[in-house]
Structure 1
Amino acid sequence: MLWVLAKRGLLTPGPPGKVAAQLNALRRWGFSLAGELRAAADRSPEKVAVIDESGSVTYRDLQIRVEALGLALRARHDIGLGSRIGVLGRNHSGTIVSMAAGVTLGAEVVLLNPALSAAAVAAVAREQGISLVLADTDLAELVAGLPTLTESAMDQLVRHAPPGRLDPPDRAGRLIVLTSGTTAAPKGARRRTPTSLAPLASVLDRIPLNVGDNVFIAAPLFHTWGLAGLQMCLALRATMVLRRRFDPVSTVVAMGRHGCAGLVAVPIMVQRLTEAVPHPTIRPRVVAVSGSALPGVLATRFMDAYGDCLYNLYGSTEASWVSIATPADLRLDPRTAGRPPLGTKVEIRAASGLPVAAGEIGEIFVRNGMLFEGYTFASPTQVAGMLGTGDLGHFDADGLLFVDGRADDMIISGGENVFPRPVEELIATLPQVREVAVIGVPDDDFGQRLAAYVVLHDDEQLSEDEVREYVRHYLARFCVPREVNFRASLPRTATGKVIPRDLE
């Protein structure tokens, strides 16, 4: 672990007083969001922490604002240990302040998805027992009827915060991330608070971000991957470039203007970048993606345009990370999910619970230092200390992991087990296809068959028969979609996952 941290610059000596203050902050506050921010502010107070549409803010000023908001929330709204608050915000410094202030007070902070309807937000708030919501001004209508502080109200609280200082709570505040809810209502998953730098070293082992880098975080902060990007950047005392809404052209412009070495994104954003800016002038060192499946054809297309800088982290809200594919892995086979990083154990298990041999498909189980602590109203499913992901996959002979699909995505067609993902990957290689989703649908003759939903590039044409013949040429007969539906777009979550129930 130490050699990874040293390689990324985390063990570089600094002014003794600032290093001592940094270590003391971590000793007192731990490796929570609050502790990481305080440690960064103590070590590099003048370093720019965030650049967003409102300008730039240093680590010292960010921490001052967190402290003031925390004092005001405690005094005016009785938020403290055991409270549960919601944060409903897009990517900007205010969202970070809201999250860190709640954690500083020992509260449980539920990260709400701005893409949810008002009814869904209300249902989540009831289920999670949220007593107060800190919301972006333009999102306040989603929490009508709930006690809410908008951005202007929080600014007032900060300006008129009572004097004093906050001490570490008896129990560290926690972040609760909502699952994507593509197949069911979103559940609250309690994020584990790290107890050391080991989880950070696991990710940095294969994603080479360094201390002091400028990093554009495009992935939503309310999602596990955007949150991971935030936590990595705080630990690295990086400068985070944030925008409330993702736009591919302005992202490339901002990365060039601010000299960003890294981009934290979801795969659909990478696709939009290749479409909008196919011949970029920037050459980032790291483009790290997660949050949904990365199509192999997209991985190759992106690296051909932006260079071999693409890193794909396969994980989930519950598992954090399972494996990471480096550019070298993706050049070997762009469909791979890579290899388990430092300190991570992955096994493929059969339905019996026993591990299977290389090449055989089974459920993916993982153990690492950041497995979630459980849903807010349920316990995680584990076998021998390893968490079942619900995904099916296999290792090849070289130790590369491949995800074959969700266990509940697999269909039985005419007695054959059929996975939609390989069919998706194949159809995506057609040059006319912009994006595609394949799901199982009922069939009177075969029990189930596949249906493909295809979005074409502008001014391109393709027939249903041409898609079927293409699949028939390369895959087995039972993989040929019964239906091929052409759509203008696919329904997706904020992190780019296709919502199957909205396809039919």
Structure 2
Amino acid sequence: MSNPYTLETRVDRSVPRREVFRQLRFFLKKMRERNMIESGGRAELVKDLKNIRRWGGLEATIMARGARQVPHKVALVDDDGELTYGEFFQKAERLAKALHERGYHSGANVAVMALNGRAAILPLTARSMAGYNIFMINGNASAAQIEEYLDFHDVQVLIVDEEFLPRITELARQREVILGHLEPEPVEHGPHEGRAFESLEHVIHTANASHALPEKPQKSMHVVMTSGTTGMPKGVVRRQLNSPQGFASVAAAIPLERNMNVLLTAVLFHAYGWAYMGFSFLAQSRVVTRRHFHPEQVLADFRDYDITTWISAATRIRTVIAHMDEAGVESHQGLKVITNSGSPLLPVEIQRANEKFGPVLCSMYGSSETSAVAVAGAQDLVDDPHLTGKIYPGCIVKILDDDGNEVPEGQEGVVGISCFDLFAGYTDPNIDAPMIGDLYYMGDRGYRKGDRLYILGRADDLVITQFAEKIYPIEIEDEILRDERIEDAFVHGVADEHTGQALRAYVVADSTITSEEIRERVRSQLSDAHVPRDIVYVEDFPRGPTGKVISRELPEPDQDNQRESSTTTRNE
């Protein structure tokens, strides 16, 4: 292969050792204050330390602890039923034995293309027991992307939900294929109880229980696929860690607790959903998760499982609120925490969420390459809905000018960060991490006020209008959405032959609101410089798995998506 993949650490952390220990102490302090972990005494601590030395500090050690301490408590509720902590760990261990006996260990590569549920979580847990590397594949990847990704990374085993089989090409099948979640009827017929491939449940059930797992397996690498819509998505190598202390900022800002009832609608093939899953199991909570997102199912799960903590993303929070409005549901009581990441909620959306659920919405700023860089608690957002989050020990955040120099507090610039669990690098050795000096470049612009971080938008979203003003689309979106007749909005910059750049707004709106009403609202509440040149009416937005709008798939203005198009003017 001309361009072999790499799992080597190629991104250095610029976090001083003293700051790492400061973060660990801070994390343990917050965990004790919240009574998040049941110590179980010296004997339990010895077992934990033994497992940490053997498997690391993540999924296998966490679930082994749950299996010892609360074996009969329900750990997972998914589309295939319920599993207690004891049942879950037994299945994970049997899967590790089965894959290890088949030769998938010592750095073998196993890919998982499975939606939320045991077909994703069991291989994640088994990986450190058997010693294989795991590659989590985005459920929205195309057939060509999957084929190239598997081949590039020399994947030996593909665990895939049966519904995705039509996207698995003949070349992609040139490895062992195991079916994760099964459809009610076979998607393809074959020799394995009527299906094309062996099921994950069969692999677990027929595992050789007497097969010995290694006392010190090779360390497992966790690779997350980015959400690229064209070409081969990047593989993000998560750094090997023996401590979950990167969650310190979340533990400090968000009132998580032991024995939560958690609804996880954030996807597990991204780092955000995976991290909260691990922390929920560490707190020995009951985790409810579904393969597909439906707002009516969310409300049913709230009720049926007495959900106290909802781990979600902005687009899904918006969708549930819109469904509640359509269904005449005024509010839902009982949630203590809602978390959001991936893309920000606008101030008007924070207000609506608080009206529906109470002041429980929290927000996290980070990416697949980082941990929670900054976190805003519920009261933080009530007091300051423009806040992105507070910066806690273990995270270094600097605002820099275009030459890489740190700017004074309150001044706008690009965001550079480092943290304890910064990623190790990309799997393609030809792709380097974007760095500004020794800091990872987040691709955003913002400013700091003390320990408070404010993100203004993506650096490439910045629009310089004909007024020579810097405009961030997020502030226009927030104002447009304050009109109750508009369900959703997206604003970005487009080319303009006269001014270089102009603003275009896409809206999902009812039939009563005109383009000029939208423009006048923006003009009166913001400025002439903020007024969109174009306003395009659409039924919905094309979105990626994290809810971000795929702007290149949006339509150009035409006679079918305009209202009062004859009045569309250019600000001059």
TM-score over 0.5 (shorter chain): yes
Q: SS in structure 2 opposite 1:316?
A: coil
Query: Aligned partner of 1:404: which letter?
Result: L
User: Is 1:45 matched with 2:67?
Assistant: no
Alignment of 1:255-294 (within 5 A): 255-277=302-324, 278-294=329-345
Aligned counterparts of 1:287 and 1:42: Cα–Cα separation in 2: 29
Find the partner of 1:444 among 467, 476, 497: 497
- Which amino acid is 1:392 matched to? R
The corresponding residue for 2:117 is 92
**Which amino acid letter does the alignment assign opposite residue 213 of structure 1?**
M
> Which runs of 5 or more residues in structure 2 are unaligned?
1-25, 181-197, 556-572
> Paired residue for 1:113?
138
User: Residue 203 in 1 paired to residue 250 in 2?
Assistant: yes
Alpha-carbon distance between aligned partners in 2 of 1:79 and 1:497, rounded to the nearest angstrom: 36
Which residue, out of 301, 305, 309, partners 1:254? 301
1:256–1:282: 8 Å Cα contact kept in structure 2? no
Work out whether 1:154 is the aligned partner of 2:207.
no
Alignment of 1:130-145 (within 5 A): 130-145=155-170
Q: CA deviation at 1:373?
A: 0.9
TM-aligned CA distance change 1:255 to 1:193, over 3 Å: farther
Is the 2:57–2:241 contact (alpha carbons within 8 Å) kept by the matching residues of 1?
yes
What's the offset of the Cα at 1:96?
0.5
Q: Residue 390 of structure 2 contacts residue 452 of structure 2 at CA under 8 Å; is this kept in 1?
A: yes
Q: Deviations over 1:178-232 (max 9, x none)?
A: 1222687521101123322422333211122112212111111111211111111
Q: How does 1:13-412 map onto structure 2 within 5 Å?
A: 13-14=39-40, 17-76=43-102, 78-145=103-170, 146=173, 147=175, 148-151=177-180, 153-162=199-208, 163-167=210-214, 169-181=216-228, 185-277=232-324, 278-377=329-428, 378-383=431-436, 385-396=438-449, 399-412=451-464
Cα 1:436/1:319, change in 2 over 3 Å: same
Q: In 2, are the aligned partners of 1:203 and 1:342 still within 8 Å (CA)?
A: no
> Which has the higher relative contact order, 1 or 2, with Cα contacts under 8 A spaced 6 or more apart?
2
Deviations for 1:341-387, whole angstroms, at most 9, x for unmatched residues? 34222211111212212332111122221111111123323345432
Shift of 1:126: 2.7
- Quickly say closer, same or farther: Cα 1:461–1:116, change in 2 above 3 A: farther
CA distance in 2, matches of 1:129, 1:8: 44
Deviations 1:311-356 (A, max 9, x none): 1101111122221111112112223212113422221111121221
Q: Secondary structure at the match of 2:248?
A: helix
**CA displacement 1:129-179 (0-9 Å, x = unmatched):** 322210112122222322321135222211211222322555321211112
User: Does the CA contact (< 8 Å) of 1:393 and 1:401 recur in 2?
Assistant: yes
Deviation at 1:293, TM superposition (A): 2.0
How far apart are the structure 1 equivalents of 2:37 and 2:160? Answer: 37
Give SS of 1:329's match.
helix
What SS does the aligned partner of 2:366 have? Answer: strand
Corresponding residue of 1:503: 554
Matched letter for residue 349 of structure 2: L
Counterpart of 1:39, as a letter, is R
CA 1:184–1:326 in 2, change beyond 3 Å: closer, same or farther? farther
> Aligned with 1:319: secondary structure?
coil
Instruction: Encode CA deviations 1:378-415: one digit per residue, 9 max, x unaligned.
Output: 3323345432211001124x653221111122233334
Offset of residue 19 of structure 1: 4.5
1:476 counterpart (520, 527, 549): 527
Highest Rg: 1 or 2? 2
In the alignment, residue 124 of structure 2 is paired with which amino acid?
A: M
Amino acid corresponding to residue 106 of structure 2 in structure 1: L
Maintained 8 Å contact 1:213/1:239: yes
Give the letter aligned to residue 422 of structure 1.
E
Q: Report the 3-state secondary structure (helix = DSSP H, G, I; strand = E; otherwise coil) of the residue aligned with 1:321.
A: coil
Contact 2:444 2:459 in 1 (8 A): yes
Please say if residues 420 and 439 of structure 1, whose CA atoms lie closer than 8 Å, have aligned partners that are also in contact.
Answer: yes
CA distance in 1, matches of 2:315, 2:274: 18
CA 1:250–1:18: 2 relative to 1, 3 Å? same
The superposition leaves residues 433-486 of structure 1 with CA deviations (integer Å, 9 ceiling, x where unpaired) of 111111111100001111111112xx4522122222222223333322111101
Q: What is the alpha-carbon root mean square deviation over aligned residues?
A: 2.1
Partner of 1:427: 480
Unaligned 5+ segments in structure 1 are none
Look up the SS of the partner of 1:320 in the other structure: coil
State how far apart, in whole Å, the 1-side matches of 2:125 and 2:66 are.
Answer: 13
- How far has the Cα of 1:5 moved from its partner? 1.0
Counterparts of 1:320 and 1:200, CA distance in 2: 7
3-state secondary structure, aligned to 2:139:
coil
The Cα shift of 1:297 comes to 1.0
Q: Is the 8 A contact 2:465 2:529 kept in 1?
A: yes
Paired AA for residue 373 in structure 2? V
Q: Specify the code of the residue in structure 2 equivalent to 1:418.
A: I
Q: CA deviation at 1:119?
A: 2.0
Summarize the Cα distance change of 1:319–1:73 in structure 2 as closer, same or farther, 3 Å threshold: same
SS of the equivalent of 2:389 reads: coil
> Are the structure 2 counterparts of residues 263 and 374 from structure 1 closer, same or farther at C-alpha, using a change threshold of 3 Å?
same
Report the AA paired with residue 54 of structure 2: R
1:282 Cα deviation from its structure 2 partner: 3.1
Of all paired residues, the percent bearing the same amino acid is: 29
What is the total number of aligned residue pairs between the two structures?
A: 500
Check whether the contact 2:145–2:233 (CA below 8 A) recurs between aligned residues: no
